[in-house]
Amino acid sequence: MSSQRVQPKLIIHGGAGSSLKGKGGVEVVRRSLHKVLEEIYPLLLAGATAQEAVVKGCQLLEDDPRFNAGTGSVLQSDGQIRMSASLMNGPAQRFSGVINVSRVQNPIRLAHALQESADRVLSDYGAMELLRELELPPYNPMTDIRLQEWMHERSENFEKEMAGVIAEKELVEDSAGRGTIGVVALDDQGRLAVGTSTGGKGFERIGRVSDSAMPAGNYATADAAISCTGIGEDIIDECLAARIVIRVTDGLSLHQAFERTFKEAHRNQRDLGAIGLDATGAIAWGKTSEVLLAAYHTGEKIGDTLEWQGEQLVASIPAPIDL
């Protein structure tokens, strides 16, 4: 890690899936994502650590009922919400998370509380005990739209494999899915952190566990940090986040690591996406799905991937060149 101050960078996502319906859908999601960047990036400029920015950014996305994490999470086949989240501190190379938790507003807060614990990944019962220890009030993250969605699918005997990527049916194609939120940050000291949170696929087998609380879906070192979205089983099979980070650590550029990894994922017919940063300030993203709901702050401007179409699997913004 450099002792010299660096330009902070930030990239976030709200899931991946099939195409949004029309320009209206794009603009609604764009406003939600850009609003988070506009609130979090000034914190990085003011000296917040990457980990602090990630936790706050994940909380804002979890609190937006449009996305499938925290409030607005999808229901499993028995009508219950079970959420997972994790946080990883890059320089410390420390991972923490919670799996299949219920009745909590922000699962990322539980993951954050476990960062300094000897036991850093908890399942449902342990996470509820932690919730009581932290004196956080119980919270019901269910929304009317998600309940109606589940009731409709129950009447159809759960023929759909997963719920909508965002919780506004009029904005999403019927086949949309793969909902997760994630935040990756580089702070002014060159430190990286990443957080990922999800409500799962929706309508799945009771107790199914997503990739979001695994290094396959959320991973960071001092060199790079990656958050994934898509079909969790595909992400796990590719060990996507850890694979990209290890390739950067082994000497590939962030773009090269994304490119090689997504070519493999595409060849294996996976349905997924990822966002990432490296310690130089490079930003990258990739997808095999139709749409990746991501947005980023380069330090100079905000951009997003909402209308990124075509066969291109990977895109990136290189690190600034020091003169």
| Residues marked as catalytic | 180
Selection from 187, 186, 163, 159 nearest residue 176 by Cα: 163
Q: Say how far apart CA 70 and CA 180 lie, in whole Å.
A: 10
CA atoms within 13 A on the CB side of 259: 8
Backbone angles phi, psi at 295, to 5 degrees: -145, 155
Is residue 304 classed as helix, strand or coil in its secondary structure? strand
Is residue 13 classed as helix, strand or coil in its secondary structure? strand
Q: How many CB atoms lie within 10 A of CB 71?
A: 22
Inter-axis angle of helices 254-267 and 240-249, to 10 degrees? Answer: 140
The two tokens of residue 195 are: 């957080």
Q: Say how far apart CA 155 and CA 143 lie, in whole Å.
A: 19
Give every CB contact of residue 212 below 8 A, 6+ residues apart in sequence: 84, 85, 86, 97, 180, 196, 197, 198, 218, 228, 232
DSSP 166: B
Contact 213, 199 (CB under 8 A): no
The two tokens of residue 247 are: 């390739």
Is residue 95 classed as helix, strand or coil in its secondary structure? strand
Is residue 100 classed as helix, strand or coil in its secondary structure? strand
